[in-house]
Structure formats: structure tokens, C-alpha cells
Structure 1
């Protein structure tokens, strides 16, 4: 059976744009004209790949739909024979054929703005109203009451249009404008995933001899009946989709891996990561509060705190960079004082507002981040976790506030931080 398929890789021109963006990130030795950092505030209503963004957008992200496939799907089915003597209303118990659950990425509980936006854009791209909250078609049998007007062999069914595909992440990052200057634009970030949703469920009954539209839910139900000859049934069987060849992994960034510094800070970092010399502080735009690891017996949550001599290097982080995706390198952040790695709490990794913590360093995507940078001359950055795809921010500007993850970032611009040498 033919499936409706639309692919949104956004055109060959945008592929060229992405390549240019990656080149710009690597070409930091070129002369640049720094742009003044935009103050935190609401971003443009709609983010589009290749459009300009501001420093206030560095800590935000939006979905874009890379592909969408629509397939008529039968969720409940029963073959039912009706004779002249059994016409009229009957209630038939159907069995579960397929269970469809709404999901975005690794989440089956649709509760964040990013997930809802992704499903909304997927439905809009094919002109369908789809489910945008967590639900499923059900795994138990279902009774269908139908008024049979003609004798025949019927398919009693419940069905829907299953909508699946892949989404990407739009992130604000510096881009080489091609004349030695840089600007901020929405680019295709490293984070992506797949989604599943479906349209309104419908019930029906169809006979073998009924003429129904191709690529319809009724036709899908009819195909499940034992109608006609084996050759005729084979003619309507859905084609088996060939598996796509596995893509080659992105090569890790070249160069020798640096050995551990005198304090041994890179000893626990995953293989293939190179640690910068020295340390950094990550703070709010006014540089008054900084990402600070907890002291002894103070838990694991990373908090915003002033930087003082009493900070004992708990507000200093070593950056270790590894493989690049779309020109953005994975980063592991190791705390200067505790020698532990920045991470998203494992127990609540899928939750909106899950806190940042420090944990023993290991090869774990919860400890890997992407850093999006402002134009050269500016220290502004946005930070994204690799495993969840969520952006880092905080609920309110106050000492002691924990750092948290948000699916779409902080829309007031407070997810834009500064990265400065310690």
C-alpha cells in the first residue's frame, strides 16, 4: 500500500547553508566585527532555519520537521460474515490489531512546549489534525455496533491515520557570513529524534466486494479480509519498506588528546575528549551569579551563587571537547574543586525542569552538552544537554536557585549565560 510521504530537509540551498555555518564555527581566526549582545527579551514569534536570531535566543530551541509519513492503520479488527437472516444492528467484539502511542523523542508523556510544537508542525505539514497530548489507541478488545444492510463478508474495524517522522532542533548559533564577519542565525542543531501521533479514530464496516478509495483506512481494513484468490490478495499487500543503510558516524575532532592537567582534572573524562587548559566560569548576563557546584555534604544540585574567595573553585569548570555534529562539538564540563562532571539528574532526565547535578565522570550522554556561542567578541552562550536535547536555564534570578533543563529553553532570554576565563 502506498504511504503519503513528505520530506522536509528544507532544500539543497539549506544544506549549503548548514555547511557554511559549520565552516564559520571553525573559522574563528578570521577577523570579526563583534555585534553588541542583544538584551534578554522575547524572541521573534517564529524561528526559521537560516533566519537571524539574537543573543537572547542562544538558550532557546524550536523544532522543525525533517520528514513525515502518513499511513492508514487498523487498530481493531474482526472478520464478520452476515447472511440475509442476520441483517440489522449487531454488536461485534473486535481484537486489537495495532497499538499506536503518541511520543516525541524518548518521551511518551507529552507535556513540554517543544513536544507539543513538534507534533503541531508535523500535523500542519500534511494538513491533518493530530493528537498533541499523550494518549494511545488502546490495547484491549473493542465492541463495535453496526447496522448491516446487505449480506456479505465484512471487516469490522477501528482505524486511524498514523503520522510518524523525524524532527530536528533549531538552535541559535554564530555563523560565518562569508566576508570575515559573523552573525547569529537559527541553524540545525545536533539534537533530533522521531515522533509518532495519529488522527481521529474512526469505526466502520466494509465488504470484500465494496469499492473503496486506495490508501484509505477502509481499504486497509478490506486488505485484512481473506478476499478472493491468493494472487489478488498479494496485489493489495503493502510493500515491504527496505531498511535504510546505516549512516556513518561523524568523525571525532582531530588532534591529540591532551593528558591530564597537574590536578588530574581530565582523568575521568571519556576517551576522545580533549580538555582545554585553564578553567571557565559560567554566569548570568550581569556576571553576578555563577554556576556553582555544591560543597561538602550539600547535595548534588548546581546552583547560581556569587563568586567569592569562599567559592573554593566550586564555580570553575574545565571544558573538554569531543565529537562534532553539525559543526558543534560535544562538551564535558569538569568541576575544578570536586573533579566531578556536570550532568542532568538520571532519575528525572525526561522531566521539564529537571535539575543539573554533578556526578562522577563516565561515558554518559547525560554528561555531554552543546555550547552555542555569540559572535566573536561576545561571551554570551546557550547550553544544551545531548541526551535530552533540553536547554539549560533557571526559574528565577536569585542566589541559590538551581540550574534546570527546559525543552524549549527560557523564553524570556534568561537562558543566555556568559562564559568567561576564570
Structure 2
């Protein structure tokens, strides 16, 4: 049967200390478009960028639209049947139920490449697919008309550029696997068809999944049905409830949730001294806002800066050479953060807020080799890198899912 439609300060584990330069300049990691691999070399310009790698993948045949249809003698021929929505699949990556930013697109591209499947890499949902199936029925019988796809789910991690000490004691910049993780959902091109109980179909196929939804009882029982639609069986109704996911924002089960905005200020254990986070070789530094509603901006440091361009590193930890810290501003007493309501938004503005125990206020700091002050900064909760659109006084600092590939997410951490 056939269908008819078918500056010279660096971090150490104990804190902050000066250290001599040690490594020669690194070369870039991989050919453009291929993406880097863990252990390959990177450059200081890559400190503010990240790339995905696929941790796990699962492919499962899924029926998105279905209708039982009985064809009697004299009713064969071509029928157009309106099916019922069985399962809705929406493409999502990480925090958002959408696909926003280059990191999400690159993640789905790597999923398809790793599995050898043509998967959706832009936001779409199977609920938008037409629910009618046109089919030429040549024999009487009980049919299941369906549309289905291969649902692809799994988890990803990110590769970040960071300094690594080599066996000979020297240092080099390499792509490392970072702690942040998230989940994704996508699907392959939809197929449609019709299947009968007596048809021999490949195991674990979309057609087999559809056949499983048929009420494959005795032929005599089927003959009692008039031509046309067959009411869904109790099993079909149960399967629909099991398969149809609740509508969510796409928040990954593995993605850490923000711990909430407590009115009580967190007690911070800050490192001694303060730092400017500055554009390398240029006079602009991060300046925190005087007004709570404003964002962190690039500003020149002057005697009138009122310490708004001075930051302290608090509650510092280190894991596999990557520092994690809260960034406390000396000028306004707030901590750098991405606003909770904007966490899933590409290019959300970096702000300051009362300091709380919240992953939105925690940042991973990726460092150049000892002797260099260059760093990249990543928000722990969103996984996005901090950068800016253009070099200009008053320009906002923002989060970018993949960072800024032109190097504008690399900064200098300079002791005041």
C-alpha cells in the first residue's frame, strides 16, 4: 500500500598569587564547524567561549498522531482520515522550551552528527503538524493510521578553555569538560502510514509502535464495527496519557534549580583585596550600577568611580582547575547576577542584587596560563558566558550561550 500524501595576577588553589609565565602560545583547537574536542589546544581568546559535547542519547520511536479505522467490503479506496494527537514533541535545549542562541543549535547539530540522524535543529513542535492522513486502502480490514517520528533525548555538557598543568610542569590552554550539564529533546522527520494487526513489521520501528496501539482482537469482533473510525480502546487511552508529557518550559531534570531569592543576605567569605575585571589592553572595566534596576556596564575607571568597578571574589572554590566564586561589588554591596526571570534569555543583562545563596550569583572563572591575567566568566545556573556586543563606554555586560567568538568575552582580572 502507498500513501498519496505523504595583569599579572593569577589564582591558585589556596587563593591568589603571582606566578611566572610558563607556556608558549597555543594554536586553535579544530577546523571551523567541527568544534573542539576535550584535550585540544585553545587560545586566550577562547576563554570566554564554550562548545557542547554530547554525554548521552536515546532514540525511541514515538507515535504523534493516530486513529483506528475499519474498512469493510465496498469501502476500500482512498480515504482522508483526521487522526488524534497522541504525543506532542517539542524541540528544546537546556533551560528553555525553545531553541535560542548558537549553543543550542550547535548542541542539536552534534546530536544529529553523533547518531547519523537528520534531527530538528530549530524550535518546532509536532502539534503544528497536520493531523490528516490520506491512504489508499486496497483490502478490507482494521487499520491504524498514524504519523510518527523518532524522539531523540539525552544530556549534554560543555567544553571550556582553561589552563592545564602538563606532565613536565608547564602550563597550556586546553579545552576541558566543565561541570555544567543540561538535557535536550528533538526528533527526526515525521513519517505516516497505515498498519494492520496481521502485518509483519520491523521490531522497534515507528510502524510497530503504531501497531501496538491497535486493538488486535479477533477478526469476528472487528467485523462488528461499521466502516470508518473505531473508538479508541482503553489501552489506547492509557498509552496516550503515558506518552503525552505535561507542558513545561523545557527545564532539564538535571539542570540545577535556583535556590530562590531569600530576603536574608548571604554571609559571604570573601578573598582579601579587590579586582577590576577589565577589557585587556583597554581602559574600560566592569562598572556596577548605582541603581538596582540598571545593569553592569563597561566603564572607565576614574577617581569618581566610587569603587563600582572593584570586585571581590567570595565563597571561592576550585574544581579541576576551574574557580567558582560569587562576585561582590565594593561600590554598591551587591553580587553580580542574572535576573531569575531572564535566566533563559540569550543576551540577558548582567546585574547586581542583594547577595543570596543562589546559583544565579555563582560564576565559573576560566584562567590563562600563570603569568597572564586573562579570564573568561560563566554563569553557573545558565551555563552562558559573559561578554559584550561592542567596545564602548556604557555598554551592557550580557550572557551569551556560546560566548562571543570574537574574543570580547575575555577579560583581565587586575588586582586593585
| 1:281 maps onto 2:269 in alignment | no
Shift in alpha-carbon separation, 1:144–1:324, aligned structure 2, 3 A = farther
Shift in alpha-carbon separation, 1:44–1:173, aligned structure 2, 3 A = farther
Q: CA deviation at 1:67?
A: 1.3
| 1:200 maps onto 2:189 in alignment | yes
SS at match of 2:64: strand
What is residue 294 of structure 1 aligned with on the other side? 289
- Map 1:141-290 → 2, pairs under 5 A: 142-227=131-216, 268-269=265-266, 274-290=269-285
**In structure 2, distance between residues paired with 1:140 and 1:204:** 15
Of residues 54-63 and 177-186 in structure 1, the stretch that sits farther from structure 2 once superposed is 177-186
Shift in alpha-carbon separation, 1:140–1:288, aligned structure 2, 3 A = closer
8 A contact 2:323–2:364 mirrored in 1: yes
Q: CA deviation at 1:94?
A: 1.5
Q: CA deviation at 1:141?
A: 8.3
Q: CA deviation at 1:309?
A: 0.9
**In structure 2, distance between residues paired with 1:331 and 1:390:** 15
8 A contact 2:105–2:122 mirrored in 1: yes
What is residue 387 of structure 1 aligned with on the other side? 381
8 A contact 1:268–1:361 mirrored in 2: yes
Q: Deviations over 1:339-393 (max 9, x none)?
A: 1010113332222211111111112221111100111111100000111111011
Match of residue 87, structure 1, among 69, 76, 95: 76
Match of residue 334, structure 2, among 336, 340, 361: 340
What is residue 312 of structure 2 aligned with on the other side? 318
**In structure 2, distance between residues paired with 1:227 and 1:356:** 59
Shift in alpha-carbon separation, 1:366–1:99, aligned structure 2, 3 A = same
What stretches of structure 2 of length at least 5 have no aligned partner?
A: 1-10, 219-234, 243-252, 257-263
How many residues are matched?
Answer: 364
Match of residue 56, structure 1, among 35, 45, 49: 45
What is residue 363 of structure 2 aligned with on the other side? 369
Q: CA deviation at 1:330?
A: 2.7
8 A contact 1:25–1:176 mirrored in 2: no
What stretches of structure 1 of length at least 5 have no aligned partner?
A: 1-23, 241-245, 250-266
What is residue 245 of structure 2 aligned with on the other side? none
**In structure 2, distance between residues paired with 1:228 and 1:26:** 69
What is residue 331 of structure 1 aligned with on the other side? 325
Q: Deviations over 1:305-331 (max 9, x none)?
A: 111111111111110135555553431
Q: CA deviation at 1:171?
A: 0.2
**If the length of structure 1 is used for normalisation, what is the TM-score?**
0.79
Match of residue 100, structure 1, among 52, 65, 89: 89
SS at match of 1:84: coil
Match of residue 68, structure 1, among 34, 57, 67: 57
What is residue 404 of structure 2 aligned with on the other side? 410
**If the length of structure 2 is used for normalisation, what is the TM-score?**
0.81
- Give the CA RMSD over aligned residues: 2.9
8 A contact 1:321–1:329 mirrored in 2: no
Shift in alpha-carbon separation, 1:36–1:287, aligned structure 2, 3 A = farther
**In structure 1, distance between residues paired with 2:31 and 2:402:** 14
| 1:354 maps onto 2:354 in alignment | no
**In structure 2, distance between residues paired with 1:56 and 1:103:** 29
Match of residue 299, structure 2, among 305, 309, 329: 305
**In structure 2, distance between residues paired with 1:289 and 1:162:** 47
Q: CA deviation at 1:38?
A: 7.3
**In structure 1, distance between residues paired with 2:21 and 2:278:** 24
8 A contact 1:373–1:381 mirrored in 2: yes
**In structure 2, distance between residues paired with 1:310 and 1:292:** 12
8 A contact 1:76–1:158 mirrored in 2: yes
Q: CA deviation at 1:301?
A: 0.8
8 A contact 2:13–2:318 mirrored in 1: no
SS at match of 2:127: coil
Shift in alpha-carbon separation, 1:337–1:154, aligned structure 2, 3 A = same
8 A contact 2:24–2:172 mirrored in 1: no
8 A contact 1:175–1:184 mirrored in 2: yes
